[in-house]
Chains A and B, each alone.
Chain A
Amino acid sequence: DVAEQLSPVLPDGPREESLQFLSELKDSSCSCAVDVSTVWWAAAGCRELRVVTASESAVSLWEPLAPDCWGRVHTWHLTEIPVIQIVPLPDTCNLVCVALGELEIGEIRLLLYSSETDSFKHSLVKTGNIKAVVGLKDRRLVSSSRTMQEQQLEMVSFSETGGSKDRQTLMPPEETVTAFAEVEGMREALVGTTAGNSVVVWNLKTGQLLRKMQVGYSYPASICHRAYSDSGLLFVVLSHPHAKESESCGSPAFRVVAFNPRTGRSAGVMFSCPPCPRRYLEGDVWDTAGAAVLTSGAVAVWDLLRGRCTAVLPPGPAGHWALARWA
């Protein structure tokens, strides 16, 4: 917000350095950061947004002490299996999940603070050959795991204190699920993308697989980030991290595709290209804004509904950016 006020976006395109570097979290250990996220944290009657950072063997919780200054509240040490990613549970307080594994996710753990014992803890949620995982509102976690014979999809609900409350099995599609995304405004709907480049829709309450819809050859190797239901259509934000780069216009970082769940037909609505011919590396979507790290080492931000790049943060003096996350 501060950067936007300082550097209004020009109508003819992004303005360089319209994102401003505000603060740095200095990790005194030499281990490399693998992921970053945020979590709502309640302490002493006050609920505030805190930052979570993960290295291969530890996950740290940081609180704002003063402008530009962050202090480490706690570190969970997870030394047996490397941490691969943080799995935030949106709008949830005092709970965050992490995925651990070697090349693929082998287990998911819940990190929490227990007021009963006045201590920070972690507990095992799930093990297996986990292909995709997402945290949903209302303390829910959905994951897909694969054995040689079959694919299993499961939603776990947590209690406020982090106990496992309920487990719901979801009907798996034939193809491996590569990513999940919540449908904004529809608590019981979930979308996913598959290795066969389809978008699938589930009813989370019943576990039913409602529809499988082909994304099409124009949108290869799609990964879903977010979905919105509006006017009888399902708008899905996709990225294509493994797509071959087109020489003419580069590769779009994000696309918005409209699906009619009744007929399974789809139409491209908007695409968001990097400001220069660079490729998308990884990114994050929040509401209708996308942010991604590009091969140039810059971070770009888009208004996904207008397909317009609204801000660029060039690589810093210390090197290329590696991750971009909304909070």
Chain B
Amino acid sequence: CSESDLGPISLNWFEELSAEAPP
């Protein structure tokens, strides 16, 4: 899997999505 297929990857996706998602 490359970034061209899947888009920019973040190692901290869980923390980032938790900060952005509605409570």
Contact = CB atoms under 8 A, between A and B. Distances in A.
Contacts of A265: 5-7
Contact of B14 (A186, A231, A269): A186
B4 to A, nearest CB: 10
User: Taking chain B's interface residues, is the majority helix, strand, or loop, or is none over half, making it mixed?
Assistant: loop
Contacts of A208: 18, 21-23
B18 A266 contact: no
A-B complex: 10 closest residue pairs judged by Cβ atoms: A263-B7, A232-B9, A260-B6, A210-B17, A261-B13, A208-B21, A232-B11, A265-B6, A258-B1, A267-B1
Contacts of A206: 18, 23
B13 A232 contact: yes
Nearest to B14: A189
Interface residues of A, number: 26
Interface of A: 171, 186, 188-189, 201, 203, 206, 208-211, 229, 231-234, 258-263, 265-267, 269
Contacts, number: 62
Interface residues of B, number: 16
Given A203-B21, A210-B21, A267-B1, A261 B8 contact: no
Interface of B: 1, 5-11, 13-14, 16-18, 21-23
Contacts of A260: 6-9, 13
B6 A263 contact: yes
